[in-house]
Amino acid sequence: QVQLQESGPGLVKPSQTLSLTCTVSGGSISSGGHYWSWIRQHPGKGLEWIGYIYNSVTTYYNPSLKSRFTISVDTSKNQFSLKLSSVTAADTAVYYCARAYCSGGSCYSGYWGQGTLVTVSS
């Protein structure tokens, strides 16, 4: 059974860079066909897709978000990561990592991490 677990700081100061890591267990992050994704949820709001990485090197980000996000993979640790630069209070949210399938007109995720709350505050 694939499991995902986010880790990272719960509190980040404005203008700093947020770094989150998602550790994958029960399956290899190098196996094909999966879109390793980050999704966030602002307090009391809906889901917002940030982006994904697939084939370990190809990334794609939500074009409606400003390009402050970077997703990368560390296959040796079976982890993928999210970096968000120049954070503001508007980036306060629960951040989820997920294993998605996005191909052939379909995009969905059956495997999610538990989520990690990130608060941006001085």
Partner 1 sequence: QSVLTQPPSVSAAPGQKVTISCSGTNSNIGSYYVSWYQQLPGTAPKLLIYDNNKRPSGIPDRFSGSKSGTSATLGITGLQTGDEADYYCGAWDSSLSGLWVFGGGTKLTVL
Site residues (vs partner 1, CB under 8 A): 37, 45-49, 60, 62-64, 96, 100, 102, 105-110, 112-115
Q: Which is nearer to partner 1, 14 or 26 (CB)?
A: 26
State in angstroms the smallest separation of the CB of 57 from partner 1: 19
Q: Which is nearer to partner 1, 42 or 77 (CB)?
A: 42
Structure tokens belonging to residue 42: 């602002």
Q: Which is nearer to partner 1, 17 or 103 (CB)?
A: 103
Q: How far apart are CA 106 and CA 104, in angstroms?
A: 5
Q: Which is nearer to partner 1, 75 or 114 (CB)?
A: 114
Q: b vs e for 22-33, b when ≥16 Cβ sit within 10 Å of the residue's Cβ?
A: bbbeeeebeeee
State in angstroms the smallest separation of the CB of 16 from partner 1: 26
State in angstroms the smallest separation of the CB of 59 from partner 1: 13
DSSP E strands in the chain: the ranges are 3-7, 11-12, 18-25, 35-41, 47-54, 58-61, 69-74, 79-84, 93-103, 106-112, 116-120
State in angstroms the smallest separation of the CB of 83 from partner 1: 20
Structure tokens belonging to residue 61: 């980000």
